[in-house]
Amino acid sequence: MQQSAEEAFSKMHIVLVEPEIPGNTGNIARLCAATGCHLHLVRPLGFSVEDKYLKRAGLDYWHLVDIHYYDSVYEVLEKYKDNPKYFLTTKAHSSYADVQYAQDSLLIFGKETAGLPETLLHEYPESCIRIPMIEDARSLNLSNSVAIVAYEALRQNGFADLTLYGGEYK
């Protein structure tokens, strides 16, 4: 998926920090393909990018995914230093629904078993947000969380460049 440098910075960014489960990353890649969001994967990954479960979850959408790899979350933060950043964590007190997302926001998610590093959350406390849930629930599935927040951010931006599949609804 070739785009100009300006276009690459004007779309929503999904950042996965050390994802561990190939099926989740495959589902998120499929969401990125369907919405035009950029996907950023921060190593180490808990799987090979050749993993059959990763490929199966993404099905035949891989050619539509604008995917980038990094060795540190700080590489992503530096590259997109002027973009709004939101760190998704169960430890935040602000809801994802209370944020005004820009079209080029970074939505940053941690690994399935541990979330984002505490040091990172302490560096950006005003940018930490969560998905509300009952007190006894530990967390939601990563791919579900990404979909919830990404579609809210896209909705706020008028679903720019997205269309209804199949044309007119009847």
List binding-site positions.
88, 110, 131, 139
Residue closest to 133 by CA, chosen among 99, 105, 96: 96
Question: Sheet of 66-70: strands edge to edge?
Answer: 66-70, 38-42, 13-17, 106-109, 85-88, 128-129
* Contact yes or no for 29/58 (Cβ under 8 A): yes
Angle between helices 142-156 and 22-35 (to 10 degrees): 20
Nearest partner of 89 among 59, 133, 128, judged by Cα: 128
Annotated binding site for S-adenosyl-L-methionine: 88, 110, 131, 139
Strand-pairing partners, residue 39, are 14, 67
The span from the CA of 37 to the CA of 112, in Å, is 21
